[in-house]
Structure 1
Amino acid sequence: MSPGDGASGGGEGEYGGVGQTRTRLPDRATDVYGGARRGRSSSRSLTTVVGVVVLLIAAIAFANRGGDSSADGTPDNKPNAAPTAATGTRPVRTTPGTIPSGYPHNEQGAQSAAANYAVALGSTGMFDTGQRHAIVSAVYAPAVAVARQSGLDAAYSSEKFLSNIGLDRDGRAPSGETFVSRIIPVGTKTTAYSSGRATVELWYTSLFGLSGSSSTNPVSESWYTTTYQLTWIDNDWKVTDFTQKDGPVPVGRDQRASTADDMTKAVEEYGGFTYAR
């Protein structure tokens, strides 16, 4: 099963015009370094160099400043963030081994919830009955959790479905193979928001398949956007519904696929993340 979401806020263009410089191309294509313009005075050149150095130092200082912090460690004055930029808001509270919960009651909290819920809904845990029930209970609003769990149980217990992806009736991979089902959020966007409801789009890529020398369903990459309907209930964001569509899909690079052993090792050694804006 594949989840998805997106992000709101101003685009990266919000920072346009701040500290911008204009580069003039050389008049002659044969002189890529602009050698024909050496007639400028040395003092003019020195002033330009000093100016660039000062701007560079100021930029580095700004990047490392981190902003003034309040008593709880949250910056007092935060700039408007681009859709995929960190905001500086304190991350969601979480306990190791559990699905993050306790999201802020704002757009950022809704986006973080959608991203983390998508990761849980797209994990291998959905193929285990006990884990699936725990995920559904943590992700969905109580009013829809029971019906959603019933539908998911029927889907994930279908022997035809499991057989098509190479798993046995209990959702386990064949001996010597590793089942991979992982979602990696790329960006989020809030398309509607009120104090009690939010609509969030998640754009993400997913890895799915069986890693092993004899696998007939090797791990492949896909791209989706899922729109989540969230409601604020019991002091947290919960999913009430979602829709999914393909893409946007980037152009694939000409890279050699890794061996089954390398893929299995990567999946076993590289853990996932808690996604917070």
Structure 2
Amino acid sequence: MSPGDEHDYRGKDQGSRTDDPYSTLGGTRQTRTRLPDGDTGLPHARRPVRNSRSLVTITGVVVLLVAAIAFANRGGGSDEDAAPDAKKPGTTGSAPTAATGTKPVQGKNGTIASGFAHDEQGAQSAAANYAVALGSAEMFSKESRRSIIQATHDPAVAPELQDNLDRAYSQAFLKNVGLNADGSTPTGLAFVSRTVPVGTKVVKMEADAATVEVWSTGLVGLAGQGSTKPVTETWFTISQELKWVGGDWKISSSTQTEGPTPVNGDNRASTADEMAAAVDAYGGFTYAR
């Protein structure tokens, strides 16, 4: 999603990869988000090199902007028997999405699930729910975006991240996506921005820290008659580094890579009206293992 040297959110120098570092094709296939210049609104404009502290506070932005910028630039047994392959706490790797016997998360922080269990299952549930929130259309409104960042991120990184995102979602950028300058949707259209988790995997688990990958598909675009930005799908994997902060899991940093991407099926593309109706009719989910 712009040329130039790339750094990860922990300040490690990545080096240039391709002519378009927002692409995950070639090189390391590791996506690192670059925020579009507020004055120009051009996602590919060169930005000055950030210091390491600033890099840390931009954590998680890749989850929010990769798909949007790419879109803007294109024209009966026992519990043991029920889940025999489930990973034991403290192990890493994938596990089947099956009932675990643990009650789903009960709390809410605004509209976002909270109060996740202090274990591997809770970390996976947190990562999936946070991916949904950070990929939502509400991220394009300043007020709701700040609430989402506050609810999902470590308080140590949230304030500066919020400021950076306010500059990233500039009027020029919003216009390029097809929205009005204030982030609202043009009359007669429905804006779609959704992240849908397909599965989760614990890569690393410690007492108060975890790294969880969330394989996801996403929808982004404007639905309705006359839209010049039709809704399209993307496939990506989000890697979230989580910390146990204030009695809950919070994001301290995140990165994103492209895919795994399935072969396109032969489904007929829905009409603009059908897509707009679906956006209004179908809500999202709270995810829990």
TM-score scaled by structure 1?
0.71
Alignment counterpart, residue 140 of structure 1, candidates 136, 153, 157: 153
Match of 1:3 in 2: 63
The C-alpha deviation readout for 1:11-62, integer Å capped at 9, x for no partner, is xxxxxxxxxxxxxxxxxxxxxxxxxxxxxxxxxxxxxxxxxxxxxxxxxx43
- What does the per-residue CA deviation read over 1:113-158, in whole Å, with 9 as the maximum and x for residues that have no partner? 01000101011111111111110100000100011111111111x1
Q: Provide the secondary structure at the position in 2 that maps to 1:248.
A: coil
C-alpha RMSD over aligned residues:
2.0
* Matched residue type, 2:127: A
Matched, 1:194 2:254: no
Residue 168 (str. 1) matches residue 180 (str. 2): yes
Q: Match for residue 39 of structure 2? A: none
Q: Any idea what SS the aligned residue of 1:244 has?
A: strand
Aligned with 1:149 (options 162, 168, 190): 162
Equivalent pair of 2:192/2:220 in contact (CA under 8 Å)? yes
CA contact (8 A) 2:109 2:151 kept: no
Name the CA shift for 1:142/1:95 in 2 (closer, same or farther; >3 Å): closer
Of 115, 121, 139, the residue aligned with 2:134 is: 121
After TM superposition, give the deviation of residue 94 of structure 1 in Å.
3.0
The whole-number CA distance in structure 2 between the counterparts of 1:219 and 1:175 is 17
- What residue in structure 2 maps to residue 7 of structure 1? none
Which structure is higher in RCO with an 8 Å CA cutoff and minimum separation 6? 1
Contact 2:235 2:260 in 1 (8 A): yes
The match for 1:247 is 259
2:245 and 2:269 map into 1 onto residues whose CA distance is: 44
For structure 1, the 5+ residue unaligned runs are 5-60, 68-74
Shift of 1:85: 1.4
Query: Is residue 102 of structure 2 the alignment partner of residue 89 of structure 1?
Result: yes
* Higher helix proportion: 1
Per-residue deviation, 1:174: 1.1
Given that 2:189 and 2:224 are in contact with CA atoms closer than 8 Å, whether structure 1 keeps it comes out as yes
Q: Give, in angstroms, the shift of residue 95 of structure 1.
A: 3.9
One-letter identity of the residue aligned with 2:205: Y
Q: Distance in 2 between matches of 1:166 and 1:115?
A: 28
Contact 1:2 1:118 survives alignment (8 Å): no
- C-alpha distance in 1 between matches for 2:257 and 2:109: 31
Does the residue aligned with 1:100 lie in a helix, a strand or coil? strand
**CA drift at 1:173:** 1.5
Q: Which 4+ residue blocks in structure 1 deviate beyond 6 angstroms?
A: none
Runs of 5+ unmatched residues, structure 2: 1-60, 65-75, 87-93
CA shift at 1:253, angstroms?
0.5
Local SS of the residue matching 1:147: helix
- Structure 2 residue matching 1:90: 3-state secondary structure: coil
Q: Distance in 2 between matches of 1:212 and 1:95?
A: 32
Q: Report deviation, 1:222.
A: 0.3
Please give the residue correspondences for 1:24-63 in structure 2 after superposition, counting only pairs within 5 Å.
Answer: 61-62=76-77
Q: What is the CA-CA distance between 1:225 and the residue it aligns to?
A: 0.4
Q: CA deviation at 1:96?
A: 9.1
Are 1:99 and 2:159 counterparts?
no
Aligned residues: 209
Which residue number corresponds to residue 38 of structure 2?
A: none
Distance 1:252 1:226 in 2: 21
2:286 to 266, 269, 274: 274
